[in-house]
C-alpha cells in the first residue's frame, strides 16, 4: 500500500566550487523507506563525500517513521563529519521538520539553486 521510495544520487558542484552529493527521493518517506534513505546514504563514500543535499521535491508524504530515518541519516553523517542540507520540502513538512528540531542539524532551503548558492 505504501508507495515505493525511489532514490538516486547526483554529483553537483556549488557555485563556490564545492562538490555536493545530492540524494533525490521520490514517493513516500515512511517505515518502508530504510533502503532508499539509509541504504542510499550508506553507499556513499565516507571519505570523499563532505556535503550532502537531500532533495524532497518529489516527496508527497513523510510520516514520523520517515522523519526518524532522516534523523538516523543525520546521526551517521554527523559521526562522519559530513554536512547535510535539504530542499524541496512543502511548507507543511518544513514546519514539521522545524518542530522536531531537524533544522538544527540540517539547513533547509526552498530550491536546489538556493541550497547550492549557500554551500
Chosen residue from 45, 47, 81, 92 binding other proteins by CB under 8 A: 92
Four-residue CA torsion sign, 76, 77, 78, 81: positive
Does the protein bind other proteins through residue 78 (CB under 8 A)?
Answer: yes
Does the protein bind other proteins through residue 53 (CB under 8 A)?
Answer: no
Q: How far apart are CA 94 and CA 87, in angstroms?
A: 9
Does the protein bind other proteins through residue 17 (CB under 8 A)?
Answer: no
Chosen residue from 9, 12, 44, 71 binding other proteins by CB under 8 A: 71
Stretch that binds other proteins, among 5-13, 41-49, 85-93, 111-119 (CB under 8 A): 85-93
Q: Which of 33, 3, 17, 2 is nearest to 54 (CA)?
A: 33
Give how many residues touch other proteins by CB under 8 A: 27
Does the protein bind other proteins through residue 81 (CB under 8 A)?
Answer: no
How many Cβ atoms from other residues are within 10 Å of residue 106's Cβ?
20
Q: How far apart are CA 85 and CA 53, in angstroms?
A: 5
Amino acid at each position: 500500500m505504501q508507495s515505493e521510495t525511489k532514490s538516486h544520487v547526483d554529483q553537483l558542484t556549488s557555485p563556490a566550487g564545492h562538490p555536493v552529493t545530492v540524494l533525490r527521493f521520490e514517493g513516500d518517506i515512511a517505515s518502508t523507506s530504510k533502503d532508499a534513505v539509509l541504504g542510499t546514504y550508506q553507499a556513499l563514500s565516507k571519505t570523499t563525500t563532505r556535503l550532502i543535499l537531500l532533495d524532497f521535491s518529489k516527496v508527497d508524504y513523510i510520516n514520523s517513521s520517515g522523519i526518524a530515518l532522516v534523523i538516523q541519516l543525520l546521526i551517521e553523517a554527523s559521526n562522519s563529519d559530513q554536512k547535510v542540507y535539504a530542499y524541496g520540502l512543502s511548507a507543511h513538512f518544513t514546519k514539521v521538520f522545524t518542530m522536531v528540531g531537524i533544522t538544527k542539524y540540517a539547513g533547509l532551503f526552498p530550491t536546489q539553486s538556493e541550497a547550492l548558492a549557500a554551500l
